Amino acid sequence: MGRGSIKILYFAWLRERVGVSEEDVDLPEGIGTVGALQDWLRGRSPRHAAGLVTGMTIRCAVNQEFAGPDEAVRPGDEVAFFPPVTGG
């Protein structure tokens, strides 16, 4: 039973692996952090699992601010997953 939706964004090779650039999902009960959200999203499809690999190589932003795995996520948030940045 969801508590409200959050917007998920994927960039660069994560976007290619997951196969979508953006999706709205209902945030389930018990998912309150970036790390828990990432684990839960991995279960949505094999492509999600391939994109949202665990480990150091994935970065996250909550509401357009860099966020570590312990950062809180709440309904209405915008959460992005992406590789380490390589601009400049």
Partner 1 sequence: MASVRVQAADFDIGAETRALTGGRADIGAIGSFLGTVRDIAGGRRITAMTLEHYPGMTERSMARIAAEAEGRWPLLGCTLIHRIGRLLPGENIVLVLAASPHRHAALEAAGFLIDWLKTAAPFWKMEEFADGGTGWVEARDTDGAAAARWGTFPGA
> Which residues within the stretch 43-72 sit at the binding site for partner 1 (CB under 8 A)?
59, 61, 64-68
| 3-class state of residue 80 by DSSP | strand
Q: Which stretch binds partner 1 (CB under 8 A): 9-17, 22-30, 39-47?
A: 9-17
Please, which residue, 75 or 85, has the CB nearer to partner 1? 85
CA distance 31 to 13: 25
Q: Which residues bind partner 1 (CB under 8 A)?
A: 9, 11-13, 59, 61, 64-68, 80, 82-88
